[in-house]
Chain A
Amino acid sequence: MAKKLVIEHLNAWFGAVQAIKDITIDIEENGVTAVIGPSGCGKTTFVRCLNRIHEVVDSARVSGRVMLDGIDIYSKTSDPVLVRRRIGMVFQKPNPFPTMSIFENVAAGLKLNGIKKKDRIADTVEQSLKNAALWDEVKDKLFKPATTLSGGQQQRLCIARTIAIEPEIVLMDEPASALDPISTARIEELIQQIKERYTIVIVTHNMQQAARVSDYTGFFLLGELIEFNRTSDIFTNPIDKRTEDYITGRFG
């Protein structure tokens, strides 16, 4: 498999506080890479650096390189808007646009990126909702407010909204942590279904989830990458003592 993202010596700060330290990691194309670790270990900050959304926060700062197909997304000539079109993101809490209908939510990224053809938008919305396993539940109420959906449905709507603009990479920041077990299972199934078309990086504090959905796993602790390997190796044969302690539940 090819390397989709090559991350070299990535550091990130909030003001004077360093959130992640010298992370070097390769993300395989069409694989699912999980990022695990205890709360506050920098895993969310790490994925937020991969689509340049970290820098939106005041006082946030980044150094290091993130090569997307060989080109640094942090180079002077790189435009964060274009980076984000290629690297989509699903957030921890479902965040549909509250004043928009279900249809408009999925169409928003297309319309605001300059696509005007109505039939093309309608086709993409339908296909995205199908890919997000939400179509059957919402096809009769596409023009109802998105906020009328349940939390799990809202999160799948957010996934549909993200994949509607056809990104190459989908970042997921604990996408199921606010959801009940059934909705969580549906999201995990969905990840399995869409991973053939997208490269996925998923943050989770749920180790079973990482073991279930991912091909590669990185273990973060206090802003540092402790260990990165095939998921099967991380969970059966961890090299670092701290990784072993964490996955066996001795802390975290």
Chain B
Amino acid sequence: MSSLSYLKRRAVNSLMLVLSYGSAMFGVAVLLLILLYTMARGASAINWDFFVRLPRPTGESGGGIANAIVGSFVVVGVASAIAIPIGIMAGIYLAEFGKNRLAPVVRYFADVLNGIPSIVAGIVAYTMVVLPMHEFSAFSGGVALSLLMLPIITRTSEELLKTVPDTIREAALALGIPRWKVTIFIVLRTALTGIITGIMLAVARVGGETAPLLFTAFNNSFMSLRLDQPISTMTVLIYNYASSPYRDWNEIAWGTAFVLIAIVLVVNIVSKLFTKAKYAL
């Protein structure tokens, strides 16, 4: 071994190591910058009233975004109620009963659906729900978001169910347990922590969507829990307030952005904790 080639190899090794670290740091730095900048700009708007009060009319200072926080949870809740059961069942179909010609088609459609721009999901919900109901509504916003959640949950469920080894299925079948019970109480249960993580990430993902809500959930200056009425959401509020000419509205937009990021972060952390659960596969 010539010492020259050894030195060269060491130099290349160091260079690559520095590049890898640098790239990793860059990724982390971008997230940190967004977090810190949003915090710096939004912190001044945040106080107790911010969470419990309603927005004030233009020109009046103070007020809060209680309706938007509640509204976001309502809309995402509707989306989850639609997408979680359908997504898990579709995932079960693909993983457990999908050895036929239909399954690859379903899988392909799910992947395509995953790739459509979110605003298209909004247009679909607008056409199918808002137009027939003659009203913007929390429900239509939930439908729009559920279209975005559905493929994520379907494919995550499928992939995680597939990680359950066949020996587990055979062990259960050999106990004389009917197939449907094996699927739900043994296979699904084995993959459940992972599936819950996937669901949480899907929730966090659609919680930050604005475009599909602009012409479905629309907006509402008041507190509303009604599914058949327009509803305020954090993302649409950010969109409206950030593009307004009023300085205090801009500040509220920053504060709302910070709250939204914090919620997404918490959901991510909780889902991480889930994967570390005692009974992880």
- Residues of A at the B interface (CB closer than 8 Å) are 51, 53, 56, 58, 81-86, 88-89, 91, 93, 95-100, 108-109, 112-113, 145, 158, 161-162, 165
Contacts and interface: CB of A to CB of B under 8 A. Distances in A.
Contacts of B179: 81
Contacts of B181: 112
A85 B186 CA distance: 17
Contact of A89 (B168, B174, B189): B174
A123 B131 CA distance: 61
Interface in B163-216: 165, 167-179, 181-182, 185-186, 189-190, 192-193
A99 B173 contact: no
Contacts of A109: 175-177
B174 A53 contact: yes
A18 to B, nearest CB: 22
Contacts of A93: 167
Interface in B264-281: 278-279, 281
Contacts of B178: 81
Contacts of A165: 175-176
A81 B167 CA distance: 17
B99 interface: yes
Contacts of A158: 171
A89 B192 CA distance: 26
Contact of A97 (B171, B192, B193, B278): B171
Contacts of A113: 175-177
A142 to B, nearest CB: 15
B176 A145 contact: no
Question: Which of A51, A99, A108 has the most chain B CB atoms closer than 10 A to its own CB?
Answer: A99
B281 A98 contact: yes
A162 B174 contact: yes
A162 B168 CA distance: 13
Question: Which of B173, B176, B182 has the most chain A CB atoms closer than 10 A to its own CB?
Answer: B176
A81 B174 CA distance: 8
Given A84-B176, A145-B278, A98 B171 contact: no
B41 to A, nearest CB: 45
B171 A91 contact: yes
A28 B172 CA distance: 26
Contacts of A53: 170, 173-174
B241 to A, nearest CB: 46
A100 B279 CA distance: 7
Per CB-CB distance, the 4 closest pairs between chain A and chain B, nearest first, are A85-B176, A109-B175, A89-B174, A84-B176
B192 A99 contact: yes
Given A53-B174, A91-B171, A161-B171, 5 more contacts: A58-B99, A91-B170, A97-B171, A112-B185, A165-B175
A108 B99 contact: no
A98 B279 contact: yes
B77 to A, nearest CB: 27
A97 B167 contact: no
A53 B181 CA distance: 16
A95 B177 contact: no
A112 B190 contact: no
Contact of B190 (A83, A86, A88, A97): A97
Nearest to B177: A112
24 contacts: A51-B174, A53-B170, A56-B170, A81-B177, A85-B176, A88-B176, A91-B167, A91-B170, A91-B174, A93-B167, A95-B167, A95-B168, A97-B189, A99-B192, A99-B279, A108-B177, A108-B186, A109-B175, A109-B176, A112-B181, A112-B185, A113-B175, A113-B177, A145-B278
A112 B175 contact: yes
A9 to B, nearest CB: 24
A145 B174 contact: no
B281 to A, nearest CB: 5
A56 B168 CA distance: 13
Nearest to A84: B176
A113 B178 CA distance: 8
Contacts of B169: 56
Given A81-B178, A112-B185, A56 B173 contact: yes
A56 B183 CA distance: 14
Contacts of B190: 97-99
Nearest to B187: A97
B175 A161 contact: yes
Contact of B168 (A86, A98, A112): A98
Nearest to A51: B174
Contacts of B279: 98-100, 145
A100 B175 CA distance: 15
Nearest to B189: A99
Nearest to B182: A112
A81 to B, nearest CB: 5
A99 B177 contact: no
